Amino acid sequence: MEDRASPGGVCGRVLWLASVEIIFILFLTRGASSESHDGKALPVQGVDAGEKGAYLSHSCIHDEILHQRRRTGRKEYSVMPQVYHERIEKVERLRGRHLLGVSSWHAHQSNVMKPIRIYLNYDAVGHSPDRDCKTVGDIVKLGEPPAPSTPGIPICDPHGEPPLVGDCWYNCTFEDIAGEDKKQRLRKALGQTVEWFSKALAVEPVKGNLRLSGYSACGQDGGVQLPHAYIEDGVANADLVLLVTTRPTTGNTLAWAVACERDQWGRAIAGHVNVAPRHLTAEAETLLSATLIHEVMHVLGFDPHAFTHFRDERKRRRSQVTVQALDEKLGRMVTRVVLPRVVMHSRHHYGAFSQNFTGLELEDGGGRGTSGSHWEKRL
């Protein structure tokens, strides 16, 4: 999916879609018992329609990454159970015998919900010898290229169109090196992203330290090895850990992100976020802010492979998240998200109160990079 930052455009469409994505993610795992603050789209810090770089664009490759992660012998994610609020667990265990009115249950849930705590780990930035660009002319891996008889073959096309993670060798340029100025931009942008989510999304917090399994490297393109302390002691004051890298990408992919560990309910507890150094510029700052929100949404659950983890208010698996139906106007089958709150907010936004409006359509074009993990581009 290509997100284009036109004058007045980063906020208008991106922020409303982000708000609907937040509503969508509320249904993941404990999600429907999560909350979006006030149900409003929140502004992205630093986003000004008049800023420079208004015509930059981003191509999301999330589904292409998922396709690669499903190859034989690869692990999509690990599962590590967490401890949550004891009374909620007790209500779930005694659900058949425990009398709890709907209103009192929701009131109790509101008391439990807290702003999501996202912890950023930068240990891997610049520390992947075969994947980070350190000097001009370095040859590094993108994806998992075969060991060649001739070093550096096949070579990546730096300006290639999606798919952009095509198992090749990348020839580093000066723009691909993450110097101190770019690292500062990275920390600023991700810090704003974390703040945005803390205002937009409330979850049932992890009780005590967040514990990770470390069963395998977290993420894509070789992933990131989890620090030993995260496995032994866990991470304090965190509901989600994001491991950050600055590895090159081709084409106009500014960043990508995937979940790599989930809890017993399917909720993401660890993810890998990669930001391409050549896009850590003043010109791309506006688009990068919106892009990082978009990509972290994929970690949180806007991902067709995560739909099976979506649950209702009492943590029961959702029987139906999407439906396929014939769109008579288009003359073809489409996939729509039919979760009640998504339908409600979409009807309000579009003024579509007809019984024919049954759900919000997912993208079915754009190839493996975007199909199924984005709202339909026409919307």
For 343-353, letters b (16+ CB in 10 Å) and e give bebbeeeeeee
Q: Determine if residue 374 is labeled as part of a ligand binding site.
A: yes
Residue 22, H or E segment? helix 9-25
Of the residues 21, 204, 295, 363, only one is catalytic, namely 295
Q: Determine if residue 294 is labeled as part of a ligand binding site.
A: yes
Which DSSP state fits 374?
S
* 340: preceding bond cis by omega (within 30 degrees): no
The strand pairing partners of 153, in sequence order, are: none
Catalytic (active site) residue 21 = no
The rounded Cα 246 to chain-centroid distance in angstroms is: 17
The rounded Cα 28 to chain-centroid distance in angstroms is: 13
Token readout for 24 is: 């969508």
- Look at residue 225 and give its three-state secondary structure: coil
Residues 6+ apart with CB under 8 A from 11: 43, 44, 47, 49, 290
The rounded Cα 76 to chain-centroid distance in angstroms is: 14
Single-letter amino acid code for the residue at 376: E
How far apart CA 343 and CA 321 sit, in angstroms, is: 11
Which DSSP state fits 44?
P
Token readout for 332 is: 């073809």
The strand pairing partners of 336, in sequence order, are: 323, 361
Burial of 144 per CB tally in 10 Å (0-12, 13-18, 19+): middle
Contact 58, 162 (CB under 8 A): no
Q: Determine if residue 298 is labeled as part of a ligand binding site.
A: yes
- Look at residue 31 and give its three-state secondary structure: helix
**Helix axis angle, 102-112 to 86-93, nearest 10°:** 150
- Look at residue 12 and give its three-state secondary structure: helix
- Active site members: 295
Q: Which residues are annotated binding-site positions?
A: 294, 298, 374
Instruction: Cite the annotated binding site for Zn(2+) by residue number.
Output: 294, 298, 374
